[in-house]
């Protein structure tokens, strides 16, 4: 659970990072920045911030903002009915991000697995994305990612996003944030 004041602070920090990158948000978009704390109580280390431009039955477009060394933990987007699961393309806009997907493990990882969560990371094929670089993740593929020391902004273009259906390797994770008033 995260306090409303912590959400507000993370939203302001996210809006500032986007503005510094030349990405303009409307006041409504700034107010609706999602702070995905994931129920672990460690937002600086595990979680991410999102701006959803559109998400409908055909496609989705988002900005993913990661604070320095913040990690979006391992998960996949499973099939839903006749839909094979979300396919997403990540395009790095600012900073750098290490994306880990299924495939031959990279011998020396650039990312740091969050301490105490090592058992919940199982894919280690590293794809490094810098500004202007992109990578497409197939549906139902385990993946996780972490920003470098400066943080990162990643544009996501995907098929329909069903965040409540995501499957995380760590059973403690709650994808939909629970905010506590303070």
pLDDT per residue as tens, the chain (182 positions)? 899 999 999 999 999 999 999 999 999 999 999 999 999 999 999 999 999 999 999 999 999 999 999 999 999 999 999 999 999 999 999 999 999 999 999 999 999 999 999 999 999 999 999 999 999 999 999 999 999 999 999 999 999 999 889 999 999 999 887 888 98
Point out which residues pair with 21 in neighbouring strands.
Answer: none
Q: Beta-carbon neighbour count of residue 61 at 10 Å? A: 14
User: 3-class DSSP state for residue 166?
Assistant: coil
3-class SS string, 47-91: CEEEEEEEECCCCEEEEEEECCCCEEEEEECCCECCECCCCEEEE
pLDDT of residue 6: 96
pLDDT of residue 135: 98
pLDDT of residue 179: 86
Residues near 12 by beta carbon (within 8 Å), at least 6 away in sequence: none
Regarding pTM above 0.75, the answer is yes
Q: Beta-carbon neighbour count of residue 110 at 10 Å? A: 13
Strand 2-3 to 48-55 pairing: unpaired
- All domains of the chain, ordered by start, with CATH? 2-180 (2.60.120.10)
């Amino acid at each position: 659970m995260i306090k409303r004041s912590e959400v507000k602070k993370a939203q302001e920090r996210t809006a500032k990072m986007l503005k510094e990158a030349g990405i303009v948000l409307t006041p409504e978009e700034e107010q609706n920045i999602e702070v995905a704390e994931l129920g672990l109580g460690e937002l600086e280390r595990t979680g991410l911030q999102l701006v959803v431009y559109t998400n409908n039955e055909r496609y989705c477009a988002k900005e993913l903002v990661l604070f320095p060394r913040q990690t979006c933990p391992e998960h996949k987007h499973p099939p839903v009915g006749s839909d094979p699961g979300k396919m997403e393309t990540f395009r790095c806009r600012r900073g750098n991000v290490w994306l880990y997907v299924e495939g031959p493990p990279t011998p020396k990882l650039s990312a740091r697995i969050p301490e105490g969560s090592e058992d919940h990371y199982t894919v280690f094929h590293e794809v490094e994305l810098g500004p202007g670089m992109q990578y497409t993740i197939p549906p139902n593929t385990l993946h996780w990612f972490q920003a470098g020391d400066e943080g990162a902004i990643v544009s996501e273009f995907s098929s329909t996003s069903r965040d409540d259906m995501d499957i995380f390797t760590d059973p403690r994770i709650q994808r939909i944030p629970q905010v506590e008033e303070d």
